[in-house]
Structure 1
Amino acid sequence: MGEDLPPKRSIKRWLVTTNHKDVGLLYIATAIFFLLAGGVLALAFRLHLLESGGFLDLEHNQFNQFVTAHGFLMVFWFFSPIAVGFANYFVPIQIGAKDLAFPRLNAMSYWLYLFSGLLVVSSFLQGGTYGGGWTVYAPLNVPTYTPAMEATTGGNATILGLFLFVVSVTLGTVNFMTTIHRHRAEGMGLWNMPLFTWSILLTVWMMLFAFAALLAAVFLLGVDRIFLTQYFATDQGSGLLWAHLFWFFGHPEVYIVFFPALGVMFETFQTFTGRRLVGRKWIIIAMVLVTVQSFLVWMHHMYLTTINLEIKTLIMATTIGISLPFDLMVFALIYTMVKGRVQFTTPFLFNLGALVLFIIGGITGVFLGAIILDYELRGTYWVVAHFHYVMVSGITALIGGLFYWWPKMTGKMYNETLGKLSFAVYFIGFNVLYFPMFLAWETPRRVFHYAEHMTLYHQIATGGAFILGLGVLLVLVTLVHSLFKGPAAPANPWEFSRTAEWAVSSPPPLENWDGRATYANGRLEFVDDSPTVTDGGTPTAEAEVTDVDHHEEHADHASIWPFMTGVGLFFFFLGLAGLTPVTIELIEANGLDQYFPAWAQITTEGEMNYLYPALTVFGFLFTCAALFKLGVEDFNVPEPKVAERWPFGGDMDDTKFGMWVFLASDVVVFGAIIGAYIFMRLHAGWSTFEPVPDYAWPGLLNTYILLTSSFTVILALVMAQRKNKQGLLAMMGTTVLLGLGFMGVKAWEWSLKFSQGDFWFSGIEYSLYYVTTGLHGLHVIFGLMIAVFMIFRIVTVDAYLEDNRPVEFFGLYWHFVDIVWVILFPLFYLM
């Protein structure tokens, strides 16, 4: 049983909580911390840009590191996470749920987010952070181009921090998709969901595929940097490969960041104009269109590459096309203001300011959508200005959301005068900072040398940066002041608010409300699910159902193991970051350095530090122990008996749906990795590309082994359904033996290649083979670890005999791993 939740004043509360509101507050507070860290870096390099050549004493590498770290922290560790904080807090309440579908997974997602950010911050203490720009373009993203060996470990920590962040995002995506699709209150169809919840649903759908592509790209970069493979250390199309992988993520990321801000704008415009949003259904359709189109325009970031003109022209058309749904949304917001009676509160001012900034950002973005203009403007301060007008307009709306929901989250009202003053300073500072950059557009981005006639623009922009910083500080002062001096907030401080969070107290109780929320009669009501008894003393049929509901209402809200898992992974990735020098030393010691000429500039000097390998081993073992304790913990999370689940109802349950969502993400990961193999092989010439395996029979043997293991997993499920413990143990054990046999054949095959002098760093064809099959092998190992854990549970507590669903879910994963191998076998062994 998960432990009881301590009081909010206790530090332990925040380490063990799995409640969605607590996790939301943790996200918001942590995101603000990273905002301040990124903002300090920005003020430093803006001060450096006060004059050409540098006003501060920042060296070239330091300037690049500050600019890059600022981009990383803002784009990844502030923009999306603060929106995820709002989503954590309010989406379950808005749809009538008592929590997210997987509370411990939600807590783990937060802790991985926090520790991933700490990895990036720690990189400054490890010889220097990554300095190749937040877009991480190849070939600048490999240590060959890192000026000093000392910076390699810090750069690795940044890249691995990004990897851990994407894992966090994946966990959150599975959770939100399951919750929104399967936990909506009775009577709340998809069309009836609040627009903020709609924005989050479409955001996580984009996250599911976009971040999976980024995960694959960062994985390839990580093995390049740590284990010296050659995906991005060669001139064999590596730059174009990275651009495709990164921008397939990067353009949807713009909408991933902006959609939650749009949701906040829709909610606040309705509340503070006193009328329903004009064209609500058309707005939802427009957002769905943008969600789909966002994956069709990534190449407009690649006009300067060798992609042929016909494809570039097609992408230009799709870029213009994706702006049309946004036109509809902008006009809907404007027309809502025209038709309503506007109340110029602080939340509305921030959201109105966001709309103005977004319009300017959108118009200036049209210039970049045209091929000929992009040739001229690409890589200049025009792009910097446009990018910030779009992205920071979203931040502006989210700050408005912070003011809008502050009374609900804290139970305190803020000072309106201070709030409006903070908006005025913030809005003026933003425009003073970024609008001069349009005028200074000839300045190349990421450099601090510029033409003399640009000096005034840069000086004005630097002044604007400090005004903007003061505006952000005033926002924080206003909110902190309200915590100590603000009057108590009523349940609903806004006259025309219309979503469910305003129907409960400020702040809401632990499980949001007593009973069950329902919209069955067209309006929000709370049904008491306690059993009712007829005059004769016998519960009615309806009462029997609600009696079950009543006894399953209790849910656990505390577990320490998500936090512990985050601690373990932090040390594991911190250790991995320092393995590059060890790898190089081992290769050089064995006389194998001739195989990786691209890394010749990297040298190791002095005594090797083996602290990092020790941290890697410690972190791995600690993580395994934490996950084991998480697996055996008795943690009750009842699914709602009555809920809207279209289109994922039927015999589907939360865990099964979540597994399908995870596998969909993994399909994209493997698709990107296999796509990288096909891309690089086509670039080299398909027929001239020498296959790495010498023989086809090991791959064929492994194909038979894995297909047989899929059959044994099916038999394991049959045995579980029949409650045959010995049969279940036998089939799970056979699956493990077959998996070990697969890994044994693979180990023999690799050792044979090693004996012939063919290593993963020997050339791009070897990197492709070892990394692609190695990633599949990691999936097999992970599956074997799960299977061994399940065998332990069967032996110790007779698990899966009464509830055999976990065996089915494991089977889904194992079948997926087998299917991937069926694709890899012909690619690497027969073609």
Structure 2
Amino acid sequence: MSEDAHGLPPTSSVRRWLVTTNHKDVGILYVVTSLFFLAFGGVLALLVRLQLWSPGAGLLSSMSYNQTVSAHGLIMVFWFLSPFAFGFANYVVPLQIGAKDLAFPRLNALSYWLYLASGLLLGASFFQGGTFAGGWTMYAPLNVPVYTPQIGASTAVLALVLFVASVTVSSVNFLTTMHRMRAEGLTLRRLPLFSWTILLTVWMMLFAFAALLAALVILSSDRLLGTTYFTAKAGGSLLWAHLFWFFGHPEVYIVFFPALGVMAETFQTFTGRRIVGRKWFIAAMVLVALQSFTVWMHHMFLTGINLQIKTLFMVTTIGISLPFDLMVFALIYTLIKGRVRFTTPFLFSFGALMLFILGGITGVFLGAVVLDYEFRGTYWVVAHFHYVMVGGVTALVGGLYYWFPKMTGKMYDRTLGKVHFALYFVGFNLLYFPMFLAWETPRRDFFYDPAFVTEHRLATVGAAILGVSFLVMFYNLSKSLVAGEQADDNPWAYSTTTEWALPSPPPLENFPDAPSFSSGSLRFGRGAADGGERSEATRASSDQLSGGGEQADGLRASSDQLSGGGERSEATRTSSDRRSDGGVVAHGETAGGADNGEDHASIWPFAISVAAFFTFLGLSGFERGELVPGVGGLLALSSLVLGVALGGYSLVEMARERFEGPTGPFGESWPFDGIENGKLGVWIFLASDVVLFGAFVGSYVFIRVAHGWRDWHALVPEAHVPLPGLINTYLLLTSSFTVVLALVAAERKSRRGLVAALAATFGLGVAFLVNKALEWQHLFHVHSEAFPHGWELGTNVASSTFYLTTGLHGAHVVVGLLISLYLLVRAWNGAYLDDERPVEYFGLYWHFVDIVWLFLFPLFYIL
């Protein structure tokens, strides 16, 4: 089976989908996989509705029902909603911003494979005595083994950890791409609205999911190692609520913002008008993204938080609704001023707007402290939540129909599309609206007042109709993919973004030449900025092609025009002639064959994800630091060893692999002009790490204050003295100095100096870990009247916070040592003298680890 010049097999080959790193392929993988999880979560939802046909026990046992409800929520929120949106983001955003691919193609593939591995891990949890059964919010203390003792419950938690790893990799990639790789002239002000929503979504994801990661790591430690964070009598349960909802409320907007972007794009396309008040629409989205981190405690009005704080968060909750009002009115006025075309994508987007309005209004009720006391824990919350979240799904389904012709080159059956919408809209409202009427039904409980039987049976019928609507969609799209009519490159008369100026589907590297908006028009090639020739079809203004202006009729660029037909500049002609090799030029650079073009194939992201699956599956076999007894423990240990070995080998091979990704110069890079992609990626990753450590430090402070700041000392043995921490402080500060010396040596092309400095850094890091291990060993075996069994991880909450927080820092040191060892081996062979950037990136990471220790030392050794 032949491969192209970039090592990619044809799309008909299974191997193509295992090795591809191209953003369009990865986008398709995300969409298809997320639709599988939609079906998975949908089946679980139908089981719940069948159980609720009558009050009391029925189809499922109590534990099975709890697991079904919990798994349905987790799958839909994590494994369907956001990945479905980011399937479109992967495919469309690089096209809209004029990029050939995402900044780090292999990391993009890795993010997908980690996502799939995490979903498979959740599926495996069903076969380990049952999956997690404590609700999708995983409230403490129901999330600890005393109440959810199944091994599968631990596996579900670890699956979420792996999912967050996927999100973090993806976030770094998207933010680097969107801030560094926009086409010339495509400023943030001109960015298409869908890309704007993705940009803001990814910024929210970077920080919100870091807080969730902290909560999940702590929960994993409580379950697997025996720490006592969430079983602490003072503040344990409340700590989980703070950590979870600091993530959980931004997650609502993380899910809804891409849907909002789809609504904005489709409203513009199918009304023939730009969004009314576009700049205010963008400002409102930015304001919501910022405010989303200031409202989390409205989920905690029933806790013991004092009334003044509850009132403050009631105000912020009502405040965040105001920018949404602006956006809703902007969409409505766009409809009023435009000429509506009732296509399938528009119908779903319009339906989403109506559903969201109802969901938003009912949510404002919950923002009032007094009303929240009445509604919390009832089906009013369930109905509101689904009108918002599944309302977002409605718009995303519209996005699937909108971009299906671009992604496949085939047109869907228009009649079946409208049948799908009719069934969907009827089923949705029949399913969720009766829940408002039966709001007194207790949430997550199949016992309810028989007076609400009619409402629940209507909801069950609605669920069946909603499920049938998706069967219509699957049939429509699969039939169209095989035998559908060929789609035009631009099937929509008034589309406003750059992807519609390309063939359907677009070529491997997207553009026939470097796109530019600098002249006020979309142009391609070396002469773009100087007004080179172009076809009539590409003579649309940059405002029109970025959502910034009213759409003209002229944007009907055919594949012939953009791949060789019609008039075009010499640069464009040269590029399209080369496109059979997959090469495109960037601002005049040549990019012909495999020698100087980009690569699109690597097996190592897939291999790393397989290793991660087995590693995390193995970790699930631990409880309180020990393997579960019997065959299960042996299998877990074997899985862990296999995963670690395969992961280590795959990471080294991925690092050694020669892989050419997108290279500059790029176009617009504000506010990161002059910072190349690798450095920006490291900075963005460290920003998320700041939140991770901040959440750990905040958890320590929260629990200590809840326990009593001075009383805390009674939980710590006298043998816990500052000296080991002080020695480690000097070791790390010295290692930061040696890292600086390594960079200086690389810049001066001194191989001996570089090797010596890296070796010194490695040695100091090892000394830090040895000193830490000796300290821990001493504390483990402290024997006194207060601590007859030593001071171990689970002795008390003080030992738990000390070992876990400093242990997380130690894990970062271990990662740094592995990187430094790799750099050392390569430097010994003469690397980094001509390109010192890897040493600089390592230095940024290592300095961050050292700075974190400067905060941990006084907290855990002095105060």
TM-score (normalised: structure 1): 0.94
Amino acid of the residue matched to residue 263 of structure 2? M
Equivalent position of 1:210 in the other structure = 208
Greater mean alpha carbon deviation, residues 197-206 or residues 640-649:
640-649
State how far apart, in whole Å, the 2-side matches of 1:193 and 1:613 are: 50
Contact 2:621 2:632 in 1 (8 A): no
Contact 1:710 1:815 in 2 (8 A): yes
Amino acid of the residue matched to residue 80 of structure 2? F
Match of 1:50 among 47, 53, 57: 53
Equivalent position of 2:107 in the other structure = 105
State how far apart, in whole Å, the 2-side matches of 1:828 and 1:125 are: 41
Equivalent position of 2:296 in the other structure = 298
1:455 positional shift: 0.9
Per-residue deviation, residues 185-221 of structure 1 (Å, max 9, x unmatched): 0000000000000000000010111000000000000
Equivalent position of 1:592 in the other structure = none
Equivalent position of 2:152 in the other structure = 154
State how far apart, in whole Å, the 2-side matches of 1:228 and 1:545 are: 54
State how far apart, in whole Å, the 2-side matches of 1:308 and 1:545 are: 58
Per-residue deviation, residues 323-381 of structure 1 (Å, max 9, x unmatched): 00110111111110110000000000000000000000001001100000000000000
State how far apart, in whole Å, the 2-side matches of 1:89 and 1:779 are: 33
Q: What value does the CA root-mean-square deviation take over the aligned residues?
A: 1.6
Contact 1:709 1:735 in 2 (8 A): yes
Amino acid of the residue matched to residue 287 of structure 1? M
Amino acid of the residue matched to residue 816 of structure 1? F
Contact 1:23 1:89 in 2 (8 A): yes
Equivalent position of 1:673 in the other structure = 696
Greater mean alpha carbon deviation, residues 131-140 or residues 474-483:
474-483
State how far apart, in whole Å, the 2-side matches of 1:619 and 1:550 are: 38
Greater mean alpha carbon deviation, residues 611-620 or residues 15-24:
611-620
Match of 1:526 among 510, 524, 527: 524
1:38 positional shift: 0.2
Amino acid of the residue matched to residue 805 of structure 1? R
State how far apart, in whole Å, the 1-side matches of 2:190 and 2:633 are: 59
Match of 1:698 among 720, 724, 728: 724
The alignment status of 1:663 with 2:695, answered yes or no, reads no
Contact 1:514 1:528 in 2 (8 A): no
Within a 5 Å distance, the mapping from 1:66-215 to structure 2 comes to 66-146=68-148, 149=149, 151=150, 153-215=151-213
Sequence identity of aligned pairs in percent?
Answer: 60
Contact 2:110 2:605 in 1 (8 A): yes
State how far apart, in whole Å, the 1-side matches of 2:625 and 2:294 are: 42
Amino acid of the residue matched to residue 666 of structure 1? D
Within a 5 Å distance, the mapping from 1:64-463 to structure 2 comes to 64-146=66-148, 149=149, 151=150, 153-463=151-461
Match of 1:20 among 20, 23, 34: 23
Per-residue deviation, residues 688-722 of structure 1 (Å, max 9, x unmatched): 10245621111000000000000000000000000
State how far apart, in whole Å, the 2-side matches of 1:640 and 1:53 are: 64
Distance 1:101 1:424, change over 3 A: same
Distance 1:352 1:185, change over 3 A: same
1:580 positional shift: 1.6
Equivalent position of 1:588 in the other structure = none
The alignment status of 1:719 with 2:745, answered yes or no, reads yes
Amino acid of the residue matched to residue 26 of structure 1? L
1:3 positional shift: 6.0
Equivalent position of 1:486 in the other structure = 484
Amino acid of the residue matched to residue 736 of structure 1? F
Contact 1:144 1:233 in 2 (8 A): no
Equivalent position of 1:539 in the other structure = none
Greater mean alpha carbon deviation, residues 231-240 or residues 715-724:
231-240
1:609 positional shift: 2.9
1:617 positional shift: 1.8
State how far apart, in whole Å, the 1-side matches of 2:596 and 2:365 are: 55
1:642 positional shift: 3.6
State how far apart, in whole Å, the 2-side matches of 1:607 and 1:582 are: 17
1:639 positional shift: 2.2
The alignment status of 1:686 with 2:709, answered yes or no, reads yes
State how far apart, in whole Å, the 1-side matches of 2:666 and 2:175 are: 18
**Corresponding residue SS for 1:609:** helix
Within a 5 Å distance, the mapping from 1:506-521 to structure 2 comes to 506-521=504-519
Equivalent position of 2:770 in the other structure = 744
Equivalent position of 1:601 in the other structure = none
Contact 2:747 2:833 in 1 (8 A): yes
Match of 2:733 among 688, 704, 707: 707
**Corresponding residue SS for 1:125:** coil
Match of 2:817 among 784, 800, 809: 784
Amino acid of the residue matched to residue 34 of structure 1? F
State how far apart, in whole Å, the 2-side matches of 1:572 and 1:640 are: 37
1:608 positional shift: 6.4
1:795 positional shift: 2.2
Distance 1:52 1:698, change over 3 A: same
Distance 1:548 1:98, change over 3 A: closer
1:510 positional shift: 0.1
**Corresponding residue SS for 2:515:** strand
Distance 1:198 1:607, change over 3 A: closer
Equivalent position of 1:569 in the other structure = 612
Contact 2:145 2:223 in 1 (8 A): yes
Within a 5 Å distance, the mapping from 1:574-613 to structure 2 comes to 574-580=617-623, 583=626, 609-613=633-637
The alignment status of 1:822 with 2:845, answered yes or no, reads no
**Corresponding residue SS for 1:143:** coil
Contact 1:2 1:634 in 2 (8 A): no
1:799 positional shift: 1.2
1:548 positional shift: 4.5
TM-score (normalised: structure 2): 0.90
Amino acid of the residue matched to residue 670 of structure 1? F
Amino acid of the residue matched to residue 317 of structure 1? V
Per-residue deviation, residues 301-342 of structure 1 (Å, max 9, x unmatched): 000011110111010011000000110111111110110000
The alignment status of 1:765 with 2:798, answered yes or no, reads yes
1:418 positional shift: 0.5
Greater mean alpha carbon deviation, residues 231-240 or residues 193-202:
231-240
Distance 1:125 1:581, change over 3 A: farther
